[in-house]
Chains A and B, each alone.
Chain A
């Protein structure tokens, strides 16, 4: 066994070279984590530089039955890039080139390891931007964004990652290189780019991306409105939409979040408010000038005690600074936090926020809310002490209760952070056995051995229909897990 695995690392090295392979436990430890609360140690990390190297690595792992987990920047919040059952972590971090920018066709071709913000920075001097802007955009990669179908504060009008991807180059589970989609509109046949976006590295590794870049809007106006309560702020959100105005961003922060953010980034938020709305309008100058006073008026009529409108870029950045750093700020009010990502129809915000509060209170924990109110995407941050296993358990219980509330309100268990490891067992809250069986059948058809990012996205119990077949797969998977462990002993 050891003989064989030694040759396995040699074969990895033969593909990526000495500097493309990490096996030192100290170094491997850095790949145990992502932004979630999950942990697992890989057996090796490979850092390929070309799509061909990726393909060769996937072929090798496929042939040897070794698990392979793709990884971007590791900012994921659902454990997607954690090598749950060991195996190899394939980091795309070195494939970060901007291969071409075509302003005439308004598209760019990039490698998956490119950091999201670096694309916008690169095209900005030409007056362009890449729309999807997760709050983690300074660190997360576009490949990771595609895998998670990430959103961001400005995706309310602009759409999420999938709406900005035209063509993808992929390495499939057996190592074949293909591309899907087209630089021309509406290619014949099913929308395969759409199917790959959000597949969390379980059906293919993305090695190249052709994405849309758009001209920056002529005029942007950002404002902040302070309310007594989340309920009042939520109602203002609905009132703005009902007036026919669709802002590009509508972000909400509740009182506990505000105090943490203010202590952390001194953004000048009104800390005694019950909730704050951050609104942004982006359009033609005339349109913004027409809509902005109406938005202010609607907020005032909805009980806003204060409405501030940024007068220049500096003030605008100051308003956003607090929001963008909100998660980091939570350290000011609790040792650790567990962030949830449920979605509900916007009109159900007030009642579901009450249930969020209730869920935390029931387990004796506090909760802060910072979220994309415009599209009903909640991010309750449940505060707990990670050194206290009982508190961690209670945080998870409250999280589950919140997701239940979201599903009962007609929503989803995840709006942008993905299922990963963390929410696999909540899939049954949202989907029927029959639907889960269809997801599983798709996964099986793409990657029969589940070597690509195993044990993610689908329920871990695998208790759904077709029990017999699943059972077989499960046994196969256990055998593979043992084999992966044996390879691990080689180090």
Chain B
């Protein structure tokens, strides 16, 4: 790549000013920590790159309020350290971790999604530098807030389309007193019976991950909380294993983390989302050579491996769509990328209508990271997505 102007503002006002100046000249690529750059189509013909990396550090943190406000370039790991000193945490564990702003813009999450939800369930406010040179603030520092449009949510998964996030506030929670992990191994059918039985009892597992490693299926159950809770959850695992005909194995909490880190190291990574009860259908149809990590209570399936041919990939994608789901090809060698594009999703037409409305309101010149979302990407990388009637 030739030398492109890289802008690293150190204050919110500076961010808005340099964005405004660059936007007058052309398109601007917006970058957070950079750890997820390859997951999205490139920004269209940028004249400059705007980075949040120099906007770093905690702005406000009152542990007793269970909220924290940080600058967008703060690494998620650093946020975790600050919270950890007060024995609190943000229950958001994506991998790679990246920066606060990047995790919001890519709407990423990890195993704890099962119990605590995604970015949208924790984020309570953002401050944003807009291409018109203004810094605006949506939401705030309080956990309940319905003043004005909830445009904070529009930044979740925005991939930089609506300006540079410069600051964010999250709800946080006390760290669990204890964590422990159990693993069940057996057939996919057996494990399916176990995770359904556990779900029916409304048991608050922090994470539940079904993985396939070569031909072995295993279900990891992460129990967190007070001593009594962890013990009860482990007992329930034993019971579920027994009645589903699975074997209970020793496991460590770090096993869950290790598995969750796998996709980012593979050369192909496909993230699929389906209604939770369809998780097993997706898993069952995967070819042997691919590893899979799934959150069966949520409906997320990560498929990863060293090689994947386009025809097989199409079959997997087809299955996700048939299950009323969607898929995001996060990592792929360039040849496969060219064949498959970035996303598959059924669209109810709402995004096609509402995305431009948000874009026109916040970035009327269409110069911020244009072309990086499922709604405005074009060219050979774009997704071929069937349109679905509005009926739900």
Contacts and interface: CB of A to CB of B under 8 A. Distances in A.
Q: Answer yes or no: are A and B bound together in one complex.
A: yes
Instruction: Name A's interface SS.
Output: mixed
A441 B137 contact: no
A287 interface: yes
Interface in B230-253: 231-232
A404 interface: no
A176 B353 contact: yes
Contact of B355 (A183, A184, A190, A435): A190
Interface in A307-350: 343-347
A293 interface: no
Contact of A189 (B141, B145, B157, B349): B157
Contact of A372 (B121, B144, B388): B144
A182 B346 CA distance: 9
A53 interface: no
Interface residues of B, number: 92
Given A188-B326, A410-B140, A149 B349 contact: no
Nearest to B345: A188
Interface in B245-291: 273-277
Contacts of B109: 186
Interface string B367-392: 00000011100000000000010111
A23 to B, nearest CB: 30
Contacts of A432: 136-137
A415 B150 CA distance: 12
Interface stretch (B17-25, B182-190, B311-319, B356-364): B356-364
Interface string A245-280: 010000000000000000000000000000000000
B325 A283 contact: no
- Of the candidates B203, B226, B346, the one having the most CB atoms from chain A within 10 angstroms of its own CB is B226
B70 interface: no
B349 A185 contact: no
A375 B143 contact: yes
A184 B65 contact: no
- Of the candidates A186, A187, A286, the one having the most CB atoms from chain B within 10 angstroms of its own CB is A186
Contact of B142 (A159, A163, A168, A376): A376
A473 interface: no
Contacts of B353: 172, 176, 178
A485 to B, nearest CB: 29
- Of the candidates A106, A241, A345, A432, the one having the most CB atoms from chain B within 10 angstroms of its own CB is A345
Interface in A144-203: 148-149, 151, 155, 159-160, 162-163, 167-170, 172, 176-199, 203
B299 A197 contact: no
A445 B349 CA distance: 17
Contacts of A169: 348, 390-392
Contacts of A434: 130, 134-136
A432 B277 CA distance: 45
Contacts of A436: 148
A413 B67 CA distance: 18
Interface size class of A (residues with CB under 8 A): 35 or more
Contacts of B3: none
B197 interface: no
A242 to B, nearest CB: 6
Contacts of A105: 275-277
Nearest to A442: B361
Interface string B70-93: 000000000000000000000000
Given A182-B273, A415-B142, A170 B147 contact: no
A438 B325 contact: no
B150 A149 contact: yes
A190 B156 contact: yes
A179 B348 contact: yes
B336 interface: no
B38 interface: no
Given A189-B157, A438-B136, A286 B232 contact: yes
Given A167-B392, A347-B65, A284 B275 contact: no
- Of the candidates B117, B135, B142, the one having the most CB atoms from chain A within 10 angstroms of its own CB is B142
Interface stretch (A85-93, A214-222, A382-390): A214-222
B361 A286 contact: no
Contact of B147 (A191, A241, A242, A412): A412
Contacts of B156: 190-191, 194
A171 B136 CA distance: 29
A457 to B, nearest CB: 7
Nearest to B354: A192
B177 A442 contact: no
B144 A184 contact: no
A151 B145 CA distance: 10
B144 A415 contact: yes
Contacts of B34: none
A178 B153 contact: no
B202 interface: yes
Contacts of A416: 144, 146
B158 to A, nearest CB: 5
Contacts of A395: none
B228 interface: yes
A210 to B, nearest CB: 6
- Of the candidates A199, A347, A412, A414, the one having the most CB atoms from chain B within 10 angstroms of its own CB is A412
A377 interface: yes
6 contacts: A104-B277, A186-B273, A203-B149, A291-B226, A376-B65, A442-B361
The 10 closest A-B pairs by CB, nearest first: A194-B153, A179-B348, A180-B350, A215-B202, A434-B134, A415-B144, A441-B361, A178-B350, A442-B361, A286-B228
Given A182-B324, A445-B361, 17 more contacts: A148-B146, A179-B350, A184-B273, A186-B107, A190-B156, A191-B154, A195-B154, A199-B149, A215-B202, A284-B203, A286-B228, A286-B232, A438-B130, A438-B138, A442-B361, A442-B362, A445-B357
Interface of B: 62-67, 107, 109, 113, 117-118, 120-121, 130, 134-138, 140-158, 161-162, 173-174, 177, 200-204, 225-226, 228-229, 231-232, 273-277, 298-300, 323-326, 328, 343, 345-346, 348-358, 360-362, 364, 373-375, 388, 390-392
